[in-house]
Amino acid sequence: MMWAAATMGTYALLRPGEFLGNRKERAAIPVVAITFFSHLSLPLIMSLPSAAESIDVANLPVRYTIQLGITKADQRGLNAPHPVAAPLAVEAMWRWLHRRRMGGVQGPQLFRMPNQPALSQIKLLAWLEGRLTQAGYNNFTLSGRGFRRGGASSLTAQGFVPQQMAAAGRWKSAAMVNVYSSKQSQAQRAAILSRGM
């Protein structure tokens, strides 16, 4: 569950409240907001395998979409479902939803364990901090903005143009890409662009 939440936040460039909810005005994203597809561009919806079928032998979807509803950037909730097609994130969500169903989780929240409250930003960040520490990383600070920062930095380092990244992050201005992406990723992008000249 934690891995699926972390990959969703990063690869969809989400604000924590958009997928984990917050106490004031937004509920956690419901499981029905996720739709899997077997083709990158065609609308071929894919369902989870049956409970009797092993998740390891079932074909993996190619992408999934998230119906975000009302967000800070879409106050009427009119935007099309947000796509996620990074294989790592798609497989993580596919496996989590299978385990969620097999565990008999009740309630609409996407990220919830049996007999537990929905996942919070504090719990997810604590889990990530623990994994980073175990992996030998020190002197880091995580915040809810880290998902958008990580996604923006990854796209920047791969050389995508700011307008493409602004669309992926649902920013009105391409200038926000430089606010969220790291200086290191910006330097990598500049090197990629220079090499292509």
Q: Does residue 110 surpass a pLDDT of 90?
A: yes
Of 180 and 34, more confident? 34
Q: What span, in angstroms and rounded, lies between the C-alpha atoms of 75 and 66?
A: 16
pLDDT > 70 fraction of the chain, expressed in percent and rounded = 98
| Cβ(146)–Cβ(155) below 8 Å | no
DSSP reduced 3-state for 63: strand
Single-letter amino acid, residue 46: M
Give the confidence band of 25 by pLDDT, cuts at 50, 70, 90.
low
* pLDDT tier for residue 56 given thresholds of 50, 70 and 90: confident
* Close Cβ partners of 4 (under 8 Å, ≥ 6 residues apart): 89, 92, 93, 95, 96, 97, 111
Q: Look at the chain and count its residues.
A: 197
Instruction: Share the mean pLDDT of the chain.
Output: 88
pLDDT over 90 at 196, yes or no? no
Reply yes or no on whether the pLDDT at 77 is more than 80: no
Per the structure block, which two tokens stand in for 80? 């099309």
**Residue 67 binned pLDDT confidence (cut-offs 50, 70, 90):** very high
CB atoms within 10 A of CB 84: 22
Q: What percent of the chain has pLDDT over 90?
A: 40
**Residues forming beta bridges with residue 35, ordered by sequence position:** 65
Give the separation between CA 107 and CA 60, rounded to whole angstroms: 25
Alpha helix stretches (DSSP H) within the chain? 2-11, 16-20, 87-102, 121-134, 146-157, 162-169, 176-180, 183-195
**Which has the higher per-residue pLDDT, 177 or 122?**
122
pLDDT at 83 over 70: yes
pLDDT of amino acid 134: 93
CB atoms < 10 A from the CB of 32, how many? Answer: 9
With both helix axes pointing from N to C terminus, report the angle between 146-157 and 162-169 in degrees, rounded to the nearest 10: 150
